[in-house]
Amino acid sequence: MNNKKKLINTAVALAVLSPIMALAQQDDGGSVPVGPFMLYPSLTVQYLRDDNILRQPSGTEQSDDVFMASPALDFRIEKGGQLYRIGYQAEVGRYGSSSADDYEDQNLIGELDVGLGRRGRLNMQAEYLDEHDARGTQRTEGAVGLPATPDEWHATRFDGTLSYGAEKAYGRVELNAGYFSKVYDNNRTLTAVRDRDNTDFGVTLYYNVAPRTDLLLQAAITDIDYATATLDSQERRYLAGITWEATAKTSGTVKIGRLEKNFDIAGRTNFAGSSWEASAQWSPRTYSTVDIATSRRTDETNGTGDFILTQDLSLTWNHKWSSDISTKVNYLVANDDYDPTVRQDDRTQYGVSMSYQVRRWLKVGVGYSYDKRESSSNAFDYKRNVYGITVGATL
């Protein structure tokens, strides 16, 4: 639900911005038994050449080499359609020249997905994150005011989804609830105002109209509570749409409706207007898929304006040329409107990567990505090229 929205948006942006990073994601690979669990370990090592690590305007760029290592442990019990999972992942980044930007991120997640009789299903997740905002992102965007070190933060997330209704029944219902809490750990003079809690609830009704095709109605509410800022607000979403898996080649979900964001205090700019979430996948061949996604939503301000109204469109093409060689191409365009200020940004991101499965347990790859932001305020303009090499290993 919406308390995951910021994390999901960040993850999608990173995947599109850097197919080098997306390439690093490993398949399950081999496993070893650990008590009642099966353990799937993996390790990814990357080298990146980034020509604008701080995302600065032309003439002020700083380039550097970046070395990253990402170990991961995934403990699972999968039996009879039930899943119990504990996962841990870390990412350690080291810069060749700019040691101030070195970082260590990590996250721990627990998940259960169980059936409740013939018609019910429950999915619950709990996650702890210990991460950072790279300099030149979030509140430090632009050419002025870069801090000496990146902003570091930790967050907790809880989500639950209760589904009722047989898969082929005419009607189904999903109830969602979630909580997300984010607290910054350093640079507190400027970051304390960004601490916040999100609490959300939602319900989705499905009505089957054809084999593997459902109409849907969705209503959701998110309460956003800042620790010290005057940005407390409530978001309400009312969406209608369709979800389908009509053939072996296509599947998708389209939701269109209304979004309202109302602030608790007078003087802030409220929003009421259209909103949508849509994604579809086309698989012309078993070894080739094309994904398209688009959305219109509000995001929390990073310091400019009261909120950010974002519209985006992304395309991703994955193709497996042989049993060992695969490629990925990404493209994204987006517009960010920083209401109620005059600032508007247009973002373009694209990239391409290729991977080679050297062994069942070993994958290597190369990639390139380009990222550009053109803003009505020149201080926020930048262009960025990233080249990378990735080595990933599993059991």
Q: Is residue 171 part of a domain?
A: yes
pLDDT given for residue 167 in this prediction: 73
Is residue 243 in a domain? yes
What is the distance between the terminal CA atoms of the chain, rounded to a whole angstrom? 34
Within a domain: 47? no
The mean per-residue pLDDT over the stretch 240-265 comes to: 94
The pLDDT tens digits of the residues spanning 333-345 come to 999 999 999 999 9
Q: How confident is the model at residue 14 (pLDDT cuts 50, 70, 90)?
A: very low
In a domain, 103, yes or no: no
Number of domains in the chain: 1
Q: What is the pLDDT of residue 118?
A: 87
Is residue 128 within 8 A of residue 108, CB to CB? The reply is yes
Which residues contact residue 134 at a Cβ distance below 8 angstroms, ignoring those fewer than 6 apart?
53, 101, 103, 150
Spatial separation of the C-alpha atoms in residues 75 and 346, rounded to whole Å: 41
Would you say residue 23 has pLDDT above 70?
no
Q: How far apart are CA 332 and CA 155, in angstroms?
A: 28
Q: Is residue 48 part of a domain?
A: no
pLDDT category, 168, cuts 50, 70, 90?
confident
In this model, does residue 22 exceed pLDDT 70?
A: no
**pLDDT of res. 354:** 98
* CATH label of the domain that carries residue 281: 2.40.160
| pLDDT tens digits, one per residue of 124-153 | 999 999 999 999 999 999 877 789 999 999
- List, for residues 194-204, the tens digit of each pLDDT value: 999 999 999 99
What's the whole-model pTM score?
Answer: 0.89
Full domain range(s) for residue 6:
2-33+116-138+151-379+390-394
Answer yes or no: is 98 within a domain.
Answer: no
In a domain, 339, yes or no: yes
- Structural domain includes residue 108: no
